[in-house]
Amino acid sequence: MPAVAAGRAREAWRLLRDDGPRRLAQRVSRVAYNRLGAASLDFPLDFDDVADSRELSLATPATRPAPGTPLTVGWVCVPPGPGSGGHTTMLRMVEAVEAAGHRCVLYLYDRFRGDLARHEQVIRRHWPGVRAEVRSVEDGLAPLDAYVASSWQTAHVLAARAEVPTRRLYFVQDFEPYFYPQGSEYALAEDTYRFGFRCVTVGHMLARLLCERYGAIAEVAEFGCDTDVYRLDESGPRDGVVFYARREVARRGFELGMLALIEFHRRQPGRPIHLFGDPGVRAPFPAVNHGRLTPAGLAALYNRCRAGIALSFTNISLVPVEMLACGVVPVLSGHAQQSSDLDNPHLRWAEPTPARIAEELEAIVSSSDPPPATVSASVPASSGWSAATRMVVATIEDEVYGHGLYTSGTRKNGARSLTA
């Protein structure tokens, strides 16, 4: 044992000497993580909250309210953090349902039993337009007119409470099995599409996947862009590239993006490189890390850049459209079907290799064509979220009232269309 301890001490000293205290602390933390079995904390559900599509018998209300009756709608979600894009989109739908005259209740599912008041404070501060009451799933689900699951975890939570008489819907923003390697989480996320909840997907790609793989029919909420915030500002020069660098979110392609930027910097050493999303990222090339930004701050940063990396491997993100609106040409790489949801002539699709992404970035920054004003004009000011919010409100009302707003047999790529 003394020899082993001495060997470990020498390893620690070499690591401290060569890579510094930060890397040593990371190694020590990793060893402690493995020895303590902390990986079990990554599973996002209590076992009692896992449902099985083969054994579901979901209770529904005995009667339906008359059309036009104000409804109470529960939204089941995990506690949001500041700047969460998925929560921002979901809460935009909550606001729309409230604006339509209905009442909403947010039910937070926190496996680690965090303080509800603290979670509510985050919601009130960062999404002040939401009026919904905030409750904890742990206190039980009331028999409301409808519930909307907002992720695969919360779909399980809602299905596991099968005795609650309600109408169940599922707001799908990503193909969430892709968040994981093939394993338990992948299989359990995939099973939620067999629960029989009425689905609304953000974009057509997800609707096609649910139809082709699981026989599910989904209503489609079209992607939007807040062009009041993300717009062209020609007050100063622009150059270089920007990257949404999120280490802990695998679908954002952090390592691939960083490798592409290493190659880009080798080719274009004088070009500025900007990172945002994670203040702890340290780049192996000259870069400015802006950390977490407000939407206004992010729009200002985009207006200083010529090109951007917008990687997402489970569905397109809002980033490329927001970049376009600010005059930035984005380089994308992801699922082949994503292109159907992003029909814009200024997008650059690249094979997911560092060299191909770097080549596209270099081509963009080395040319003055297209000018930023042309890029920005390709995103019309009407590209807001109103069509998506109308779809979500109408789908919830149709599910609860049961008055059949959908055209008979009208389907497009697995999606149903609303009549006027």
Instruction: Write the CATH number of the domain with boundaries 47-221.
Output: 3.40.50.11090
User: For position 290, what pLDDT does the model report?
Assistant: 96
User: What confidence score (pLDDT) does residue 33 get?
Assistant: 47
Asked whether 73 and 396 are in contact (CB, 8 A), the reply is yes
Euclidean distance between CA atoms 160 and 158, whole angstroms: 6
Place of tokens 């649910």: 210
| Integer Cα distance of 277 and 285 in angstroms | 17
DSSP 307: E
User: Which class is domain 241-377?
Assistant: alpha beta
Virtual torsion, Cα 349, 353, 354, 356, nearest 10 deg: -50
- Which of these, 220, 222, 224, 223, lies nearest to 417 by C-alpha position? 220
Residues of the chain within CATH 3.40.50.2000 domain(s) are 241-377
For the beta sheet containing 329-333, the strands, ordered from the edge strand earlier in sequence to the opposite edge, are: 288-289, 273-276, 241-244, 307-311, 329-333, 348-349
Integer Cα distance of 230 and 298 in angstroms = 8
pLDDT at residue 338, rounded to an integer: 53
Residue 16 CA to residue 23 CA, distance in Å, equals: 7
Every domain range in the chain assigned CATH 3.40.50.11090: 47-221
Question: Residue 354's pLDDT is what?
Answer: 96
What sections of 303-385 are H helices per DSSP? 319-325, 354-365, 372-377
Which pLDDT value is given to residue 410? Answer: 33
Dig out the tokens for 291 from the structure: 């950390």
pTM: 0.83
Strand order across the beta sheet in which 198-202 lies: 133-136, 103-108, 72-77, 146-149, 167-172, 198-202, 218-221, 415-418, 406-412
> DSSP class of residue 238?
-
Distance CA 26, CA 33 (A): 10
pLDDT at 4: 58
Q: How far apart are CA 68 and CA 401, in angstroms?
A: 8
SS3 (DSSP) at 45: coil
Query: What does each of the 420 residues of the chain score in pLDDT, given as a tens digit?
Result: 566 566 566 766 676 676 667 665 666 666 654 564 545 557 789 999 999 999 999 999 999 999 999 999 999 999 998 878 889 999 999 999 999 999 999 999 999 989 999 999 999 999 999 999 999 999 999 999 999 999 999 999 999 999 999 999 999 999 999 998 899 999 999 999 999 999 999 999 899 999 999 998 899 999 888 889 999 987 778 999 999 998 888 888 999 999 999 999 999 999 999 999 999 999 999 999 999 998 999 999 999 999 999 998 888 788 999 999 999 999 998 654 555 577 789 999 999 999 999 999 999 999 989 999 999 999 987 778 999 999 999 999 999 999 665 433 333 334 343 332
Pick the closest to residue 247 from 255, 238, 239 (CA basis). 255
